[in-house]
Structure 1
């Protein structure tokens, strides 16, 4: 397990996330990254009014989006280089199709690029890959539920494969309050319920971290052509046999004519885990592009640039 601990310590500086609480226990950091520049800019939660990457954020938002029945999204994340270990890269591709009250979503994720020279002269080059499938259904009015599965491959000096399941329940609607019309969504999601990883018969099995997000987002027009969105969520990370951590995140988005967007967010968790993020975006008809920079506010923590591109048709 020493090799996992070395790599996890490096990932703590790069990613933060649950690793700051239990670096030696999490060998699947790919599940901790939010593959949406918009969601990442607003606190890295998955329960807001998503505008793409529905399979990894809020599948219910796919039904709320009136543009087309198909969506394709790509997210790339480039981290600052880490001396002696290279540069971590992350790529995600998502697609979805909806018909009536049903939606079918699929996605691929890859994370890798680090190289760490060990004392015995060997090189550790960890990498992670997932294939993801999700089904979402509009049960009643704005109430949407989803279930999905992820087929996960994790590689250190040896490889392991497992299956993780996820589920979510969201409700979205529009209300009138203080003379304004408000769009909102509230919901909860659970990701990472699955079998432990087995890196070899001579090594202990490693549990998948389970992440639960609870929260929502509300948006209103504050003036002609000007719109404000606010999001708040809490995240609970649980390692089935070891430890857990809690974080709270929030963010805001200002948009002009729903074409140009400016965003900011902040996350605070246990063990002085803090992340600040800021982003911008442009949306024109069925196309959107968003960019976010986030910074891990721990000693030695570094930042990353995330770009998301989406198209609905």
Structure 2
């Protein structure tokens, strides 16, 4: 019976349409593409080129450009209940800036999913699996010039889908920031190019079946326009291409807009395109002195994938 359990579980890993509820369709690889930053999530997942908090998993160079020397961020996301329960994401990251040129960051993120019943070929239940994934991440930024910043992030990933697998990933990128005038309005803009999640694949216990990491080439940016005193509008965009040959539709991207009043309150909206899971998002945020809070709600055609996301951030 135990042999049947592990055999069927291995089959489930290779056939995402067999016996898995909607929430567990997020495989261990899609976990690496999850964006914990609630601010950019409310703007169509446009996480490159800007951000506030959760820098390690958004655009690390945003921390390199910020005036703060220390930050700590937490975010949580939850999907609607399905079957045995909810799917949760929890992320925590912190960073310290040694000098205007150097900073380091560390973080931890987890995904926990409801139990999935495993059946044999006759339809008999032979056990249950509670999938979960986590990663430990380290990152650093370096100022190359006043306008150019670079970043690197390394990740140790562990996945349990009834079988265990571990792997290592690496992300690198560079950011350019500048200012301009749009008619008589001051404009600041930022552009980031990145190569994300490339490295060693993950091998599950039985059969040592290797699953490649979701490596991608990405470029994104953000432009902020001070339209009046205490009123700023930001536009953001992201475009990328997955490098995995197993993915048929590799192109993804997002567009977002944010209105900010007096640096205290923000309203956001965005749209993100990704094969089979397009998302429309809305969000709001508030900031007072060294603390900020962000909320985002993500809506898809399949309500089982709608998400509520909360982000908390402190910076000094």
8 Å contact kept, 1:39–1:50? yes
Q: Give the corresponding residue for 2:36.
A: 35
- 1:34-73 equivalences under 5 Å are 34-66=35-67, 68-73=68-73
Change (3 A) 1:102 1:8: farther
Report the alpha carbon displacement of residue 203 of structure 1 after superposing the two structures with TM.
4.2
8 Å contact kept, 2:12–2:18? no
Are 1:297 and 2:301 an aligned pair?
yes
Q: Give the corresponding residue for 2:92.
A: 93
Report the alpha carbon displacement of residue 227 of structure 1 after superposing the two structures with TM.
0.8
- The range that moved more, 247-256 or 203-212, is 203-212
Q: What is the rounded CA distance, in whole Å, between the counterparts of 2:193 and 2:170 in structure 1? A: 15
Change (3 A) 1:10 1:106: farther
Q: Give the corresponding residue for 2:122.
A: none
TM-score, normalization by structure 2: 0.89
Report the alpha carbon displacement of residue 5 of structure 1 after superposing the two structures with TM.
4.9
Q: After TM superposition, what 4+ stretches of structure 1 lie above 6 angstroms from structure 2?
A: 8-12
Change (3 A) 1:81 1:137: same
Report the alpha carbon displacement of residue 177 of structure 1 after superposing the two structures with TM.
2.3
Q: What is the rounded CA distance, in whole Å, between the counterparts of 1:11 and 1:183 in structure 2? A: 46
Gaps of 5+ in 2: 1-9, 120-124
Aligned length: 301
Report the alpha carbon displacement of residue 54 of structure 1 after superposing the two structures with TM.
0.8
Superposition RMSD in Å: 2.1
- 1:1-12 equivalences under 5 Å are 1-5=10-14
Q: Give the corresponding residue for 1:250.
A: 255
8 Å contact kept, 1:233–1:250? yes
Indicate the structure (1 or 2) with the bigger Cα radius of gyration: 2
1:215-270 alpha-carbon deviations (Å, 9 max, x no partner): 20000111122110000111222225664511221000001111000000001244
Q: Give the corresponding residue for 1:110.
A: 110
Q: What is the rounded CA distance, in whole Å, between the counterparts of 1:296 and 1:148 in structure 2? A: 30
8 Å contact kept, 2:21–2:116? no
Name the SS for the 1:51 alignment partner: coil
Q: Give the corresponding residue for 2:230.
A: 225
Q: Give the corresponding residue for 2:289.
A: 285
Are 1:165 and 2:170 an aligned pair?
yes
Q: What is the rounded CA distance, in whole Å, between the counterparts of 1:55 and 1:155 in structure 2? A: 24
1:17-76 alpha-carbon deviations (Å, 9 max, x no partner): xx7xxx7xx53222121011111111113213111111111111113222x300100011
Q: Give the corresponding residue for 2:309.
A: 306
Q: What is the rounded CA distance, in whole Å, between the counterparts of 2:147 and 2:238 in structure 1? A: 20
